[in-house]
Structure 1
Amino acid sequence: MSVGQLKRLGARCGTQIKRLLPPPVFAVLLCALLAGFLCFVPPINGLADNGDFYRVMYTNGIYKLLGTDYHYFDYVTQKFGLMKYYNEYRSVNFSSQPLFVRLAVLLNKLFYSKTVFDIRWMGVVNYAFYLGSIYLLTDALTYPVKRWRNYVIAGLVVLVFGDSSFTLYFNSFFAEPQMLSLTLYAFAAILLLARQRYRRRWPLVLLYVVSSVLLITSKSQNAPLALSLIVVAIGLFFLPRFKAQRVALIGAMLVLLVTGGLTYILIGKEFVDINSYQTFSHGVLTQTDDPSKALAKSGVDQQYALMQNQDYYAKQFATIRANGPYVKHNLLNQVDFGWVVKYYATHLKQFGRLLDLAAADVMITQVKAVGDYVQASGAPPGKQVTFFTLYSQVAGAFFPQKFAFNCLLALALIMVYAVGFYNDLKAGAFEGILRFFLVLGYLTMFIFVPVISIIGDGDADLAKHLFMVPVSIDLIFLLFVSDCLNHRLWHAYRKGGA
């Protein structure tokens, strides 16, 4: 066979591979294998209960099975009971998470048991939504270029979002797995609009709005994300032939704003008390040389300095019962949101240290406070999974640990994408414009979520509270790499330039 024939054969094989296994399918298959092995092959992996599961479990008819060992922090619990009769428990928060949990319960009852709930059904629901978001994200990052370099981009998507620190959440009652998928759906929807992937626009606009509403309402702390998602939506006003839909778009933005407001207003009193307490014990009392003196100046009894770094649900002996009437009456009623903001405004050096502490944890996406194995695996209590965690470990170890660096990085990225915004605005294109507002909106999450987390909950459970920070910067990182590889960083896609 001649060299020319070999080249033609190779070209035909390459064309068949691209047709049968395009980059989005390639990414989905790899993520499906990695996450499926982790979550569904016995002995399964997931995240143990840190004390927060009860808020989701009981309101959705799930309870701890009687006569079985239930492990907090150390081991993943696989089997739970399902209530048969009237459920008197009510949710303490306004949340979209029960939609996903009830779907898992329904599937469990249809295909497994009406009395016993297996956490893997929660994993199945999270897994299905996740794979759909991986497909759309990879498609948005690689369309319309048909080059081998797009398999590099697909591989990066797998490396970043196939990381076990993200997929471990699937087998748990945490809201983070839904937040991950919804964030990816919202990001991909705008990017697909920018790149004119489909002839009809309204399904992608609807996907963005629905994903955003569900994301905002998935956790009470996500209420401020409404503002970031509205920033992203501003870019849609620049779409051509979209004037008739602008009234609907304004209405959609108002829906996002109202959703954020309701999510904040409807936070339950118990949840407010927990956050206020941990803001005080894990924030106000930390990163300061003399907490007693700082409290005295702020009008709070110095004895509460003894509560430094104490959790609301203490694992061991606590100096005082956090949920007792004494603390509620004498401390929590005084230390509200306004008091905390005023305190940090007069203690900027301490607040800066706390922000640097948050910056140090920004890329540490694996929850360290709980174990990842079931007891039947024989793993020691609290053991962490290391399977396919290369990206999260490297990012956590080498990402600069200063909040000032995060601000400079955000400013640099805004300037880079502002060039594409200007060039496309001048050229009458809209890809760079939508992309600019997309990056701008997600960068506001990257910068302001740590601020909100410190003010709202101190340094407690930072890996969970900062979850949106690594997700947002990872998405922008993937977008930047794909734009560089496909020569579209400074302008809209040009067929001859890729």
Structure 2
Amino acid sequence: MKQVKQRLSSAASYFQRIVPPPLFATLICAALAAFVLFVSPINGLADNGDFYRALYSNGIYKLSEANYSYLDFVTQKFGLMKYFNEYSSVNFSSQPLFVKLAVLLNKLFYSQTIFDIRFMGLVNYVLYLGGIYLLTDALTYPTKKWHNYLIALLVVFIMGDSSFTLYFNSFFAEPQMLALTLYSFSSILLIARKRYRHNWPLFLLFIVSTVLLIANKSQNAPLALSFIVVATGLFFLPQLKKVKKIYLSAGLALLLLTGGLTYTLIGKEFVDINSYQTFSHGVLLQTEDPSKELAKNGIDEQYALMQEQDYYPKQFATIQASGKYVKKNLISKLGFVWVIKYYATHLKQFGRLLDVAAGDTMLTQVKAVGDYTKDSGARPKKQLKFFTGYSQLMGAFFPQKFAFNCLLAVVFLTIYLIGFLNDLQKNQFEGALRFFLVAGFLTIFIFVPIISIIGDGDADLAKHLFMVPVSLDLIFLLFISDIFNHRLWHSDREGD
């Protein structure tokens, strides 16, 4: 019996050395995502009309407009332009870096004229797996206890959910946003954990991943302020010399500059679309008499008929939103100041809209489009159910009140503030980095819904809120790992 126990102990120790928790989580996520993305019939997300932003400017086009499927089915094959590409990027974005890499790999290993969406999936897949490894490493280091495998499994259950990985086989910007957020979050936490001897590679990873994240999509511009909060904790690092403070300040300035450029370089068409949908999907909703309220605020009452109408309607519309008449008489009046002033005088209506946003907070699986190819024989808009337990659980049971989100944020902030103060008394810096990391991601959790409602109403709300569940999931994983490793209220840990 004693020999059996020794052999089991020896085998367990060998397994820990060969497959540590970070590799364990990465391998499982790799297998799950590969099954969704690359095993025929493949899964992904159908085009909701947004793919054109990434297609033509990167030399990709639809093989047949007549047979191209919007909303219902995933399109696997596209054409690659062979001659001069007259299309320019419709927005300032870092997304083309990843799309062009996918096109390059496609040309090297598949075809010069046909693009397979799986190469886009491959680029997103590899980027994502690196983030999973670093996240699990940051959550489990330096303890070497078996409960770290439970943390690794929790990472798989949450971040390996197919509602996230379905995005990879698509031209949406969200898969890069997910992976880059993992790198940004993990790099700060690895610095806090003193994982490596030198911090500058992790600091560089934080800056590069965060800059690419902010520039990935125009709606990410405000995230620059959240990541400034995150990076503030770095100033608490011991023996931070004057030169390093200059480098750190320059990095933060770069984040602000990126946010500013991403915002100011938004195309005029997108400004008009957002302004209109802020009006039709926001100002006109959750109010009993919209026409009366419009008249009070200097807008013709007739525009109340445009309630819930899209800028580019799929069916008959009362009036063409993109027409000159609407632009002159409505959109030109709907500035940011007008919208803020309106909501400031209609707080009850704004509160209802925020509750609508709270209801969509954890709905990470896009319901408006299908997840299967037409060749699979699936019905139009069929949703994948494989490994979506976490997203379905949270979508069903997470409270749909914005007030609850605020209360939850206060609870997390208070817990990590106590840890920060305890570490401050002991001249330790991990509590500071954790506190500002959590605080920064909580600003995303709270303020992105507010910005989304003000900037675009409830139009395509679940996609606009993508960073909200990602931020909450990462905070939740950090919270659970800190409980398991007994460092919630302080950073004292095994190996110190």
Q: Fold-level match, TM-score > 0.5?
A: yes
CA drift of 1:87 comes to: 1.1
The CA distance in 2 between the partners of 1:120 and 1:495, in whole Å, is: 43
Letter paired with 1:316: Q
The residue matched to 1:16 in structure 2 has which SS? Answer: helix
Q: Deviations over 1:188-223 (max 9, x none)?
A: 000000000000110000000001100000000000
The residue matched to 2:333 in structure 1 has which SS? Answer: coil
1:369-388 → structure 2 map (5 Å cutoff): 369-388=368-387
CA drift of 1:496 comes to: 7.4
Q: Deviations over 1:37-59 (max 9, x none)?
A: 10111111111111111111011
Equivalent position of 1:202 in the other structure: 200
CA drift of 1:313 comes to: 2.3
Per the alignment, do residues 23 and 124 of structure 1 end up closer, same or farther by CA in structure 2, a change over 3 Å counting?
A: same
CA drift of 1:305 comes to: 1.1
1:92 and 1:270 in contact (8 A); partners too = no
Is 1:43 aligned with 2:41? yes
2:74 and 2:372 in contact (8 A); partners too = yes
The residue matched to 1:488 in structure 2 has which SS? Answer: coil
Equivalent position of 1:468 in the other structure: 467
The residue matched to 2:115 in structure 1 has which SS? Answer: strand
Q: Deviations over 1:116-171 (max 9, x none)?
A: 11111100000000000000000000001111100000000000011011000001
Equivalent position of 1:494 in the other structure: 493
Equivalent position of 1:33 in the other structure: 31
Per the alignment, do residues 30 and 418 of structure 1 end up closer, same or farther by CA in structure 2, a change over 3 Å counting?
A: same
The CA distance in 2 between the partners of 1:318 and 1:365, in whole Å, is: 30
1:30-429 → structure 2 map (5 Å cutoff): 30-66=28-64, 69-243=67-241, 244-429=243-428
1:421 and 1:432 in contact (8 A); partners too = yes
The residue matched to 2:156 in structure 1 has which SS? Answer: helix
List alignment gaps of at least 5 residues for structure 1. none
1:431-442 → structure 2 map (5 Å cutoff): 431-442=430-441
The CA distance in 1 between the partners of 2:123 and 2:17, in whole Å, is: 29
CA drift of 1:241 comes to: 2.1
Letter paired with 1:334: K
CA drift of 1:494 comes to: 2.2
The residue matched to 1:117 in structure 2 has which SS? Answer: strand
The residue matched to 2:78 in structure 1 has which SS? Answer: strand
The CA distance in 2 between the partners of 1:346 and 1:110, in whole Å, is: 58
The residue matched to 1:81 in structure 2 has which SS? Answer: strand
Letter paired with 1:224: P
Letter paired with 1:307: M
1:140 and 1:188 in contact (8 A); partners too = yes
The CA distance in 1 between the partners of 2:31 and 2:310, in whole Å, is: 38
The CA distance in 1 between the partners of 2:387 and 2:320, in whole Å, is: 40
The residue matched to 1:289 in structure 2 has which SS? Answer: coil
The CA distance in 1 between the partners of 2:480 and 2:172, in whole Å, is: 31
The residue matched to 2:330 in structure 1 has which SS? Answer: helix
Letter paired with 1:66: S
The CA distance in 2 between the partners of 1:65 and 1:30, in whole Å, is: 35
Equivalent position of 2:6 in the other structure: 8
CA drift of 1:67 comes to: 6.9
The CA distance in 1 between the partners of 2:485 and 2:201, in whole Å, is: 26
1:440-459 → structure 2 map (5 Å cutoff): 440-459=439-458
Q: Deviations over 1:159-186 (max 9, x none)?
A: 0011011000001110000000000000
1:51 and 1:313 in contact (8 A); partners too = no
Q: Deviations over 1:74-100 (max 9, x none)?
A: 111111111111111111211000000
CA drift of 1:66 comes to: 3.0
2:183 and 2:206 in contact (8 A); partners too = yes
The CA distance in 2 between the partners of 1:494 and 1:150, in whole Å, is: 14
Per the alignment, do residues 430 and 282 of structure 1 end up closer, same or farther by CA in structure 2, a change over 3 Å counting?
A: same
CA drift of 1:240 comes to: 1.2
The CA distance in 1 between the partners of 2:381 and 2:318, in whole Å, is: 25
The CA distance in 1 between the partners of 2:493 and 2:33, in whole Å, is: 36
What's the C-alpha RMSD, in Å, of the aligned pairs?
1.1
Per the alignment, do residues 67 and 408 of structure 1 end up closer, same or farther by CA in structure 2, a change over 3 Å counting?
A: closer
CA drift of 1:298 comes to: 1.0
Q: Deviations over 1:449-497 (max 9, x none)?
A: 0000000110011111000000000000000000000001111132279
Letter paired with 1:276: S
The CA distance in 2 between the partners of 1:393 and 1:256, in whole Å, is: 34
Per the alignment, do residues 238 and 496 of structure 1 end up closer, same or farther by CA in structure 2, a change over 3 Å counting?
A: closer
Q: Deviations over 1:423-473 (max 9, x none)?
A: 111101111110000000000000000000000110011111000000000
Letter paired with 1:91: S
The CA distance in 1 between the partners of 2:196 and 2:171, in whole Å, is: 35
TM-score, normalised to structure 1, is 0.98
CA drift of 1:322 comes to: 1.9
2:79 and 2:113 in contact (8 A); partners too = yes
The CA distance in 1 between the partners of 2:36 and 2:273, in whole Å, is: 32
CA drift of 1:68 comes to: 6.1
Letter paired with 1:440: A
1:363 and 1:470 in contact (8 A); partners too = yes
* Deviates most, 271-280 or 346-355: 271-280
The CA distance in 1 between the partners of 2:65 and 2:185, in whole Å, is: 45
The CA distance in 2 between the partners of 1:337 and 1:211, in whole Å, is: 30
CA drift of 1:388 comes to: 0.6
2:142 and 2:495 in contact (8 A); partners too = no
Letter paired with 2:391: S
1:92 and 1:271 in contact (8 A); partners too = no
The CA distance in 2 between the partners of 1:493 and 1:273, in whole Å, is: 53
CA drift of 1:306 comes to: 1.1
The residue matched to 2:79 in structure 1 has which SS? Answer: strand
